[in-house]
Structure 1
Amino acid sequence: MKYLTLLFLFISFGAFCQDIIPTKNGDITINPITHGTLVLEYNDQVIYVDPYGGAAAFDDQKKPTLVLITDIHGDHLNQETLNGLDLKEAILVVPQAVADKLPKGSGKSIVVIGNDLSETINKVKITAIPMYNLPETSDSRHPKGRGNGYIVHLGGKQIYLSGDTEDIPEMRALKNIDVAFVCMNLPYTMDVEQAASAVAEFKPTIVYPYHYRGTEGLSDVEKFKTLVNESAPKVDVRLRNWYQ
């Protein structure tokens, strides 16, 4: 993979910090919100990912044009937060299990994408990637096929959003990922070692550990950074405080 020439801008304001990644056709702005929630901006598109934490958390954000929801759990599909947002011009991109739970008339429209399928919406290509727990069992918190990770294609870059997953073969097989958001919180997803091993295999240009609050508190993201860079020193591991 050809490594990108990246401009990094860190701006601290309130609960947010911005990273700006240039592309040939405009900047991608990354706004971490909390836990597994973030906002991506690119030209005229404003993409909310798993809106959670209450609508007030988005007071400083532009109104969404797209909303991606990965799964049915309350830290991903959070109806209280959705109810407080202005979604009149937002297309909701969801797996079928989420669509089944959304109230009629949610957003401008709802587009259902299944695992391994793609849709181009508002000129943004979105590919749904499996996300699930291992081993696959009947009582799994995240059975294969119910939820989606996503690859969002913006300005020639590929942005991977893991959703709630373990280090599944589909993640390890990813190619040419420019920016990755990877979860790590036991007992719901995977531990730091699993996440680092997977990232070292698919080698995104940049990776953000996110969704790292578990039953025992916050995962050791410094350890994640160390483990990734021992095996894949060219991967830019960016640590941000998602739990201010």
Structure 2
Amino acid sequence: MLENIKWLGHDTFKIIGEKIIYTDPFQIKKPDKADIILITHEHYDHFSPDDIKKLLTPDTIIVLPKDCSGKIRAKEIIVKPGDKITVEGIEIEVVPSYNTNKKFHPKEKGWVGYIFKIMGKRIYIAGDTDYIPEMKTFKDIDIALLPVSGTYVMTAEEAVQAAIDIKPKIAIPMHYGSIVGSENDAHYFAEKLKGKIDVVILKPEE
């Protein structure tokens, strides 16, 4: 399954399965076609209309929080934490994503992460979040895509605690290397989880 997950930097993943799913497209270098685009929140490095347009087809469906809606001419599904939907045969759970000890991503905004099932695997994309209590309730996660850079999201140390709560089969660090954070954060995360959870550090695709 890992060969089907392409990290394009920051929070942007291309996941290839029954459908082509993109998460938070940002700094897309070449046009492509997405079946489903998952948007976690409205900040420019997660909700970038110019980048989204590079992936749109007449059939692309964008799943997004309410404050992102109506800004792009496309098929939209507006979601909030707690929602469960099926899009083009893909099961998607919408989960909370927020800060607990900083002000950038307030819980009351209703911004989100997603757990979606593709190729028989449950993948969690966290969005911009701190280590939050809801993570203990996420079940049967095969692959967790977790921010590790601190400043706007949880630190690598906090991400280690999140991974231990979520218990994925594989954890992949993200949200470093472009705006904040460095590969050192990813390596720290991997080192601290050694013997507990398999960590795969992906190289950004060109």
Equivalence for 1:52: 26
After superposition, give the CA deviation of every residue in 1:96-133 in whole Å (9 maximum; x if it has no partner).
Answer: 11115x23xx22x1001110111111011111110000
Name the count of aligned residue pairs. Answer: 204
After superposition, give the CA deviation of every residue in 1:156-212 in whole Å (9 maximum; x if it has no partner).
Answer: 321000000000011233221001100022210011110011102221001100112
2:191 is the alignment partner of 1:226: yes
More contact order relative to length (CA 8 Å, sep ≥ 6): 2
2:106 is the alignment partner of 1:143: yes
Aligned-partner residue type, residue 92 of structure 1:
I
Structure 1 residues 174-189: aligned runs within 5 Å: 174-189=138-153
2:88 is the alignment partner of 1:122: yes
Q: Could you tell me how far apart the structure 1 residues matched to 2:90 and 2:65 are? A: 17
Q: Could you tell me how far apart the structure 1 residues matched to 2:181 and 2:126 are? A: 20
Compare 185-194 and 218-227 and name the one that shifted more.
218-227
SS of the aligned residue for 1:225 comes to helix
- Normalised by the size of structure 1, how large is the TM-score? 0.77
**What's the % identity of the aligned pairs?**
30
Q: Closer, same or farther in 2 for the Cα pair 1:226/1:78, shift >3 Å?
A: same
Q: Could you tell me how far apart the structure 2 residues matched to 1:214 and 1:52 are? A: 11
- Contact kept? 2:10, 2:176, Cα under 8 Å: yes
2:68 is the alignment partner of 1:98: yes
Aligned-partner residue type, residue 14 of structure 2:
V
Give 5+ residue unaligned stretches, structure 1. Answer: 1-6, 8-18, 21-28
Structure 1 residues 15-54: aligned runs within 5 Å: 19-20=2-3, 29-43=4-18, 45-54=19-28
Q: Closer, same or farther in 2 for the Cα pair 1:226/1:94, shift >3 Å?
A: same
Determine which structure has the larger strand proportion and give its number. Answer: 1
Q: Aligned-residue CA RMSD in angstroms?
A: 2.0
| Structure exhibiting the larger radius of gyration computed from Cα positions | 1
Q: Closer, same or farther in 2 for the Cα pair 1:234/1:177, shift >3 Å?
A: same
Q: Closer, same or farther in 2 for the Cα pair 1:58/1:118, shift >3 Å?
A: farther
SS of the aligned residue for 1:220 comes to helix
Q: Could you tell me how far apart the structure 1 residues matched to 2:96 and 2:173 are? A: 18
